[in-house]
Amino acid sequence: MTIDTGELTEIEQDALAEIANMGVSRAANSLRQMVGEQVLLSVPSVKIVTREAASKLVERNNAKKLVAVQQSFEGPFAGRALLIFPEAQSLELVRSIVVDEHTLEDVIDLEQEALAETGNIILNGCLATIANVLHRTMRMSLPSIVRGDGAALFEVEGPASGGQFVLFLYIDFNIKRRDVHGFIALLMDLPSIAALKAIVNDFIHAIEKHTPGHVG
């Protein structure tokens, strides 16, 4: 299913995973503050796969009905960041955030807005850390909610086509004692992968030359 990672060298892949891990770990702390419970994270995974393969990866272990908050980002490289849950769990997440005494009706009313706001905080936190580590600036779109299966989330049927290769970075998270799990995914198209490779290589070389100050 995962074709290969031939486009990335071992150190590039390592660097992307480590940088994404920093972004998501920082963002997890924002989520932790919102839900009042510890958020557990998996080890990050970095792959170059087709859109279609990426869409299958997000369906793994999940019902096909997914809900995602997505934001596009632009800068030296561009792509989309998504916070994804099985649909049934998004309500539980909202409930964790808005405190339990709300009725189910209230929670359903709030769901869209609360999800967008939660996604905004988490995805911005994640991307801001990545941008800071790489010393780059990124612009983020407003959050939007997408519902459907993996193919709908990753626009497999869209103009980009399912066979197109993307850089796919994801980390699972679980909210302890809340039976809420989901994941954060970053998706970048090929031109962005090339730009990102160049930036990551600058970053690696800066470390090797022991540039003074705040490296990584």
Partner 1 sequence: MQYKVLIVDDSKLARMVMASAFRRIRPEWILVEAVNADEALAAVSGGTVDIALIDFNMPGIDGLELAARIRKTHPDMPVAVVSANVQTEIIGRARELNAGFVPKPLTDESLAAFLSGATLRLKKPTS
Nearer Cβ to partner 1, position 19 or 94? 19
Nearer Cβ to partner 1, position 23 or 150? 23
Token pair for 2: 């995962």
Nearer Cβ to partner 1, position 64 or 177? 177
* Closest distance to partner 1 from the beta carbon of 175 (Å): 11
Identify the helix (H) or strand (E) that includes residue 170. Answer: strand 165-175
Identify the helix (H) or strand (E) that includes residue 139. Answer: strand 139-140
178-198 as b/e, with b when 16 or more CB fall inside 10 Å? bebbbbbbbbbbeebbebbbe
Task: Find out whether 15 and 203 touch, Cβ atoms under 8 Å.
Answer: yes
* Closest distance to partner 1 from the beta carbon of 147 (Å): 29
* Closest distance to partner 1 from the beta carbon of 87 (Å): 26
Nearer Cβ to partner 1, position 7 or 14? 14
Identify the helix (H) or strand (E) that includes residue 191. Answer: helix 190-208
* Closest distance to partner 1 from the beta carbon of 15 (Å): 4
Nearer Cβ to partner 1, position 14 or 189? 14
* Closest distance to partner 1 from the beta carbon of 216 (Å): 4
Q: Is 52 helix (H, G, I), strand (E, B) or coil?
A: helix
Binding residues (CB under 8 A) for partner 1: these are 10-11, 14-15, 17-19, 21-23, 25-26, 28-29, 32, 38-39, 41, 43, 129, 132-133, 204, 207-208, 210-216
Q: What does the alpha-carbon distance between residue 157 and residue 119 come to, in Å, rounded to a whole number? A: 24
